[in-house]
Every structure is written in C-alpha cells, then in structure tokens.
Amino acid sequence: MEFFNLHTHNYTNSKDILELVNQYPNEFDKKIPYYSIGIHPWKIEENRVEAELKIIESKLQTINCLAVGECGLDKRIETSLDLQITIFEKQLLLAEKYKKPVVIHCVAAFQEVIEVKKRLQISVPMIIHGFSKNEQVARQLIENGFYLSFGKYLLQNPELESVFKNIPNNRFFLETDTIEDGIYEVYALAAKYKNLDLTALKLIIENNFQKVFTT
C-alpha cells in the first residue's frame, strides 16, 4: 500500500492505493475489494432499516469489509434526530460486536456523537470523516478518542491548515470522499502543511492504518 484513502465514493482500482469505498446495504457492489458499509443518515428509510442492518451484519463478518459506515448524525436534514440516533447506535453496537472501526458522518451534532460513544462505551476506533471544523472542536474530539479524516475541505479551505497542523500525527487519515481530485493531491498538501516529505507522511498513515484497521 503506497497510499490509503480512508473514504471514497469513487472506486478507481489504482494499484498503489488501498481505497476504503463507501457502500450501502441496498446498493452493494461485490466487485469492490475493500469497503465500509452502513446506513447514512440521508438514506434512512424506516421500513427497511432492519433488513439493512442484517445485510451490514453479514458483511461485517467478511475480511473485505474493513469498517462500519459511513453512518452518523446530521442536524441539517428533516429526518428526526431521535430516529438517527437509534439507527446510529444499532450500527455502533454491530461495530463493537465485530470489532470494526466506524467511519462517521457528522453535521452539527458533535456533542451528540460524543455522548453516544460514552454512553454505549464504544471501544472500537471512531473516525470523523471530512473534518472541516475549528481547532476547539478538533481538540474535543481527539480528547474523546476520535480520529479525524481530512480531504475535500483541506483542499478547498486554506483556513484548515492551522487546524490540520496541530492534529497529532497518530490521529488522522486522508480521504477524497466525492471529489474528483485524487488522493495524491490530498497527500501532497497534507505533507506540505505538516512540513514532512511524502515518504514520512506515508509512513504515518501506514502506522495509523495498522493500528485502526488490523488490530
């Protein structure tokens, strides 16, 4: 593995990239070698949640499924937060049962995500994908045991440089999510911000991958 893409919706089949491709239970592509699977808060449909949870549980028992997600909480959608929390909790308990990390979608609900983690005593790694907030939020998440993944907003928002610089090297990942820019561009900018050469950055990500996904 030369590069690791923590979260993408665009499978490229690049030989030098391990891509953790986001999959949904009802839109599953068995040709994708490594993936996460979960119920995104945008895609909640109450009448099929239980069936989707069964699919997720079956996939979690395979070696190609590296994580649960993306799943999480989003206060800017119409789906009730209580329903989102219920479905999020069920996925976290599956992650805990099968010892898989979790890729989290979180919009304006960081306190709630932290509260759920504490209340359920979740011990598996939890990664906030697409992080774009300030240093205070980043610090609070890290203090509560979360990892942060950077990508689209790191490329688009220069103000994130100071936030990213101060993230401990053992607590971050890089991703592309839905953007067309490749993971190479994200790595290059991350190396620049961290004042590292590319080889050193790759080693950091490799170490984080080993700790989160293979232990």
Q: What single letter denotes the amino acid at residue 44?
A: I
Q: Is 7 marked as binding a ligand? A: no
**CB contact at 8 A, 68 and 91:** yes
Secondary structure class of 18 (helix, strand, coil): strand
Q: Is 177 marked as binding a ligand? A: yes
- Classify residue 138 by burial, with Cβ atoms within 10 Å: 0-12, 13-18, 19+: buried
Q: Is 40 marked as binding a ligand? A: no
- The C-alpha angle 183, 140, 186, rounded to 5 degrees, equals 10
Q: What single letter denotes the amino acid at residue 107?
A: V
**CB contact at 8 A, 53 and 37:** no
| Binding site as annotated, residues | 70, 105, 129, 177
Which amino acids are annotated as binding site for a divalent metal cation, given as ranges? 70, 105, 129, 177
